[in-house]
Structure 1
Amino acid sequence: MPALIFSSRFLFFTVTLPLLVSIALYRLDTFDPAHHPADSLVYSNASIPPLINDKLLTGAEFIGVGLLNSPEDIAYHVDSGLIYTGCVDGWVKRVKVAESVNDSVVEDWVNTGGRPLGIAFGIHGEVIVADAYKGLLNISGDGKKTELLTDEADGVRFKLTDAVVVADNGVLYFTDGSYKYNVHQFIFDILEGKPYGRLLSFDPTTRLTRVLLSGLYFANGVSMSPDQTHLVFCETPIRKCSKYYINGGRVEVFIQGLPGYPDNIRYDGDGHYWIAMPSGVTTLWKLAMKYPFLRKITAIVAKYGYEPMFMENAGVMKVDLEGNPIAYYHDQTLSHITTGVKIGNYLYCGSLSHSRIIRLDLLKYPAQNKKL
C-alpha cells in the first residue's frame, strides 16, 4: 500500500499537475497567433540554386572577434575602405580590414544609445542608421553630429526600425519590422503571424515620412534596384522578397519559397542581390508556421526566457536581378546570419548573435554544382 500511495503521488506531481498547469497557462494566456498565408507554407526545391557551398565555415575567417558584439548589418564605404556595422551595445563601429584578418582594426565610432541595425551612406557623406529603438538617424561630421530624422509615420511610432537604403536622389527607404514588438521581442511578432510591418520613405528635403506599404509580415531587409525604379524588400516569416515600384506603388513577387527566413538583402553593384537567412527551414519551423497553437505554446515558453525555435543552417543566397537563384552559401552548424555583403572577392557576413564578422574567399571556396 505505501508503494502504491508513493506511486500515485509521484504520478500526480510529475505528470498530472504539470499537465493541468500547462493547460491553465495555455487557456489564460492572451497571445493569439494567426494562420500564415497559404503560399508561405509551400515547400519545394524551386528556390534552391544550382551552385551550392554547404560548408561556409570551412575556410571562413573571423574579423574583430570579441570586439564586435552582434554586428547585424554591414556597409562598405568604397572611398575610405572602411566597413561600418552596428552592434547590440549601441556602437556603430568602423572596421579597417587588412589582408590578414589578424591585422584588422576595429574602432568604436558613434554610440547611438539604442540598437543600430541597418546602415547606409547618404549622398552627402552622411551615415544613415536604422536604429531599432531610436528611429532613423543621420550621423554627420565624421561622427560629431547625430540627428533624428524620423521615428513615426501616420501617427504610429516605429517599434523596430530595421533596414535602410538611399536612392540616388537622396530619398531614404526603410522598414519598420513591427509597430507592435521591439527588437528584443521580435520572436513574438513572428510567432503571432500578423502583419505589423511597414515599408516607408523619408525625403530629407521636405522632411516628409510616408508609409509606402503596410500589412507586411515582419518587414526586414530592403535594397534599391540598379536602375532606381524599384525596391526589393524581405518579409521574414513568409520566406518572401517582393518588388515595390517607386512610381505607381505596384508590388510583385521577386522570389518566394526560400530555403530559409530572409533578413537583409544587399545589391553588389555587379548584377546580383545577396539575401541573408538567419536560419534554414527546419521541421520545427515548418510545424510552427503551419499550426498556430504550436506557436502559442512556443510563445508561452519564450516568455520564461527560453529560445525554443532553434536556428540552424544559416547562410546567404545569391540571386540575379530577376530573382533567379544562382548560388547558396550555408552551413548546418551556423545560425543567425543577418547580412551578406560581397566586397571584392570576399563575402562578409554579419550576425545577430556572434561577436565577429565572417569573411569567405569566394574564389578559394566557391559554390559548386552538386550534381557533378
Structure 2
Amino acid sequence: MKSIKVVAVLTVTFFILFVLLWFNSPIHPIIWQPTENPKLSGVFSKNTKLDKSQLILQNLGSGPEDIVLSENGRFYTGFADGRIISFIIDQNKHSDVHLLTNTGGRPLGMKFTNTGELIVADAVKGLLSISMAGELSVLVNMVDGIKMKFVDHLDIAEDGTIWFSDASQRFEHSQVEYDFIEGSATGRLLSYSPDTAETKVHISDLFFANGVALGPKDEYVLINETGKAQIHRLWLKGDQKGKRDIFLKDLPAMPDNITFNGKDTFWIPLIHLREPLLEQMAYYPFIRKLIGGFPSHWIQPINQYGFVIGVNLNGEVIANLQSPTTLHSITSVIEYKGSLILGSLDMPNAAIFNLD
C-alpha cells in the first residue's frame, strides 16, 4: 500500500511538472535537419593558437560584441549596457578611451558610412545612425508595420545601401536560447536605402540570421546562418544576380559575425561549438517544447571555446585559430596591421592576435 502511494505521488508530481513546462513554454518547435558536423578535425583540427592573444579593454564593460575602425584611426565598440566607446590601439595596448553615446539597447554590429556616420545594428532599438557628436537617430526598426525583434549585424555597399540581418522574428535578444530550441528559422537578410528610406526583405527563412559581409566589388553578400552552421550567398551583380547558394557549409561551430579584409579573406568568428544533444533533439519537437518551459538562462550553451577561421574567396578554409582556455564566445574579427582584433559577446575584454 505504501509503495502505491509513493507511485501515485510521483505520478501526480510529474504530471504537474509536465503541465507547467508545457504551458509555460513560449516556443512552437518544428522538426529541422542539422547539417554534417566535421567536429575538430581536418582543416578544423584542434589547436591553441589564439591562447597567445593579448587582452585589451579589460573590465571596461561586458561584451564588446563588434569592433570597427574609423578613418580617423579610432576603434569603436558597444557593450551589453548600451554604451558605445572609442579608443586607440598602439603596440597591442588600448588607450584614450572615450564614451560616444548610450543607445539604451544592445549595440551589436557596426560599420562606418563613407560620410563618417556610425551605423549600428542594435538588437533592441533597430538600425541606428550615430554622429561623431553622439547624436542618435533611428533609420529603421519596423518592416511592414511590424517591429523587428533582433537586429544583429550589417555591412555597407559602395552605393550606401545598408545590408543587415534580423536574427529572429520570434524572439528578442534576451530570449535568444528559445530561438535555437524552437528551430523555426525566421531570420532575415534585409537592405535599407538611405536615399529612399526603403527597407527590403531578401531572404526570410534563416535559422538565426547573423553576420553580414559584402564580397569584392559588392558582387554578392554573405549571411551567416548560425543555427545550421553555414553561410549563404546572395548574388547582387552579373549573370547570377538574384540567385542564392551556399558559400560555406558543415562548420564544426556556429558562425557569428563576418568581415571581409578588402582583399582576399573573410574572417569568421565561431561563437560556440555545435551542441550534439541539441541537434539530436531536432527530430523531437515534443521534448523541446518541454525544455522551453525552463527559464532561458537555464538552457544557455555550456561550452566556452574561442574559435576563428579565415576563408578565401572560393569558400576554402585557409586559417584555423582556436583557444580552448583563454578566449571564448568570439563574435567579431577585423584585420589590422598584421593582427586580428577580436570582439566577444560575453567576455569583459577584447583581444589582439598577431598573425605573424
**TM-score for the superposition, normalised by structure 1:** 0.86
Alpha-carbon distance between aligned partners in 2 of 1:134 and 1:95, rounded to the nearest angstrom = 24
In structure 2, how many angstroms separate the alpha carbons of the residues matched to 1:316 and 1:73? 14
2-structure distance, mates of 1:32, 1:358: 38
Q: Kindly state the Cα deviation for residue 9 of structure 1 after the two structures are TM-superposed.
A: 7.7
Tell me which amino acid in the other structure corresponds to 1:349: L
For residues 69 and 323 of structure 2, what CA distance do their matches in structure 1 show? 24
Q: Which residue of 2 aligns with 1:91?
A: 83
* Other-structure match for 2:350: 357
Partner letter of residue 28 of structure 2?
D
Per the TM alignment, residue 75 of structure 1 is displaced from its structure 2 partner at its CA by 1.0
Specify which of 216, 226, 235 is matched with residue 236 of structure 1: 226
The DSSP-based 3-state class of the residue aligned with 2:178 is helix
Distance 1:193 1:42 in 2: 17
**Partner of residue 223, structure 1:** 213
Cα separation, partners in 2 of 1:86 and 1:308, compared to 1, 3 Å: closer
Tell me: CA distance 1:313–1:11, structure 2 relative to 1, closer, same or farther (3 Å).
Answer: farther
Give the SS at the match of 2:227.
coil
Summarize deviations over 1:225-277 as a string: whole Å, max 9, x none. 01211101101101110111124421110001111011101111230101111
Cα distance, 1:57 vs structure 2: 4.6
In the alignment, structure 1 residue 138 sits paired with structure 2 residue 99: no
Q: 2:29 aligns with which of 19, 27, 33?
A: 33
Unmatched segments (≥5 aa) in structure 1: 364-372
2:228 counterpart SS class:
coil
Moved more, 165-174 or 293-302: 293-302
Whether the aligned pair in 1 keeps the contact of 2:23 and 2:293 (CA below 8 Å) is: no
* Residue in structure 2 matched with residue 369 of structure 1 by the alignment: none
Q: Would you say 1:266 and 2:262 are equivalent positions?
A: no
AA aligned to 2:37 is Y
Alignment of 1:331-342 (within 5 A): 331-333=323-325, 334-342=327-335
Q: 1:76 to 1:9 in 2, by over 3 A?
A: farther
Closer, same or farther in 2 for the Cα pair 1:342/1:157, shift >3 Å?
A: same
The range that moved more, 143-152 or 167-176, is: 143-152
The 1:92/1:220 distance shift into structure 2, 3 A limit, reads same
Between the two proteins, the alignment pairs up a number of residues equal to 351
Q: Which residues in structure 2 correspond to 1:155-194 (within 5 Å)?
A: 155-194=145-184
Cα deviations across residues 91-126 of structure 1 (Å, max 9, x unaligned)?
11112112142x533321111111111100101111
Question: Any residues of structure 2 matched to 1:35-114 within 5 Å, and which?
Answer: 35-36=31-32, 38=33, 40-44=34-38, 50=43, 54-77=47-70, 79-101=71-93, 104-114=95-105
Question: Matches of 1:241 and 1:19 in 2, distance apart?
Answer: 42
Residue 50 of structure 1: how far off its partner (Å): 3.3
Greater Cα offset, 286-295 or 120-129: 286-295
TM-score (norm 2): 0.90
How far apart, CA to CA, are the structure 2 residues paired with 1:143 and 1:49? 48
Q: Aligned partners of 1:48, 1:166: CA distance in 2, in Å?
A: 35
Q: Which amino acid aligns with 1:126?
A: E
Q: Secondary structure at the match of 2:273?
A: coil
Aligned-residue offset at 1:309:
2.9
Letter in 2 for 1:85: T
Native 8 Å contact 1:223 1:266 kept in 2 = yes
**Matched letter for residue 110 of structure 1:** T
Amino acid at match of 2:137: E
Q: CA deviation at 1:314?
A: 3.5
Report runs of 4+ in structure 1 exceeding 6 Å deviation.
Answer: 7-13
CA distance in 2 between counterparts of 1:165 and 1:326 reads 23
| RMSD of aligned Cα (Å) | 2.4
C-alpha contact 1:172 1:203 (8 A) present in aligned 2: yes
List gaps (5 residues or longer) in structure 2. none
Distance 1:243 1:318 in 2: 17
Deviation at 1:171, TM superposition (A): 0.9
The answer on whether the counterparts of 2:100 and 2:134 sit within 8 Å (CA) in structure 1 is no
Indicate if the aligned counterparts of 1:129 and 1:137 stay in contact, CA closer than 8 A.
Answer: yes
Contact 2:270 2:308 in 1 (8 A): yes
Change (3 A) 1:63 1:23: same
Distance 1:98 1:68, change over 3 A: farther
Taking a change above 3 Å as real, the CA distance of residues 296 and 158 of structure 1, as seen in their structure-2 partners, is same
Secondary structure, aligned partner of 1:278: strand
Structure 1 position 87, deviation (Å): 1.0
Aligned to 1:296: 289
Q: How far apart are the structure 2 equivalents of 1:226 and 1:355?
A: 34
